[in-house]
Homo-oligomer: A and B are copies of this chain.
Amino acid sequence: MEKQLLKIVKIGGNVINDDIALSLFLKGFAAIEGPKILIHGGGKKATQVSEAMGFQPQMINGRRVTDAATVEVVTMVYAGLLNKNITAQLQKYNCNALGLSGADANCILAHKRIVTTIDYGFAGDVDAINYEFINVLLQNNITPVFCAITHDKNGQLLNTNADTIASEVAIAMSNLYHTELNFIFELKGVLSTFEDKNSVITHINAEKYKDLVSEGIIADGMIPKLHNCFNALEKGVAKVKIGDASMINKANKLYTTISLK
């Protein structure tokens, strides 16, 4: 039997930090037909709350160091404020959303990152996705909304990269569904000329990816992003798309599709 299509969409700070953009996106997301999952990052709010509470977030190589106070703040902001506001807005748009952290129903089991050179504190690396339970929700017409908080099954919550959660959820759900993973970011897709925001490369396969890296067209922060996409594809995800928030609207055709072949 052919597997049913499942759309998995990940949004980050560029959508979350802007109330109007977020509301517009959520209205569009709610209108997506069939089973779907939303994964959201954190954005500026965690930094604002940290600062309001009188401590400065510590960053190493652009990544947040999660000390004991920070894991409290990100749990409050990601799993509380953002996750519940997103869920309530989706309910408004008649999407029966349910907000989840990785601790809920043991959906995302992780372990505290092993310290090699840099100690990122309570940062979690994903071990397992409870895809059977996520499927129970989907079968009941519920739309899971994941924040980027996981747990270690020993009572500890862990701060986890939202792109990684999106990939891991998509990979695990591929056991049951034909999965399409959508990464939404600030650009319309992977660009051939960075200065031209409309120069979207509409399709990248593994071979073309190698060429684009060797030509220097894909560089810097795009390399781990695309590496993450190909990892998902190699582990069973059917299709990956990268684009801006309008990508989820049927009318928009300008984005990058990534596939193995």
Which residues on A are within 8 Å of B, measured CB to CB?
49, 52-54, 72, 75-81, 83-85, 87-89, 91-92, 96-101, 103-106, 133, 136, 140, 142, 149, 151, 153-157
Contacts and interface: CB of A to CB of B under 8 A. Distances in A.
A80 B45 CA distance: 14
A25 to B, nearest CB: 14
A189 to B, nearest CB: 30
A101 B104 CA distance: 12
A104 B87 contact: yes
Given A49-B53, A80-B84, A99-B103, 20 more contacts: A49-B76, A53-B53, A75-B80, A75-B81, A75-B85, A79-B80, A79-B83, A85-B155, A87-B103, A88-B155, A88-B156, A88-B157, A89-B155, A91-B106, A91-B155, A97-B105, A98-B100, A98-B104, A99-B101, A136-B136
B81 A76 contact: yes
A178 B88 CA distance: 31
Given A103-B87, A103-B99, A140 B136 contact: yes
Contacts of A85: 75, 155, 157
6 contacts: A85-B157, A87-B101, A87-B104, A88-B157, A99-B104, A136-B136
The 10 closest A-B pairs by CB, nearest first: A80-B80, A76-B76, A92-B155, A76-B80, A88-B103, A52-B53, A98-B105, A79-B80, A88-B151, A98-B104
A85 to B, nearest CB: 7
A157 B140 CA distance: 23
Contacts of A78: 80
A38 to B, nearest CB: 13
Given A81-B76, A81-B80, A91 B151 contact: yes
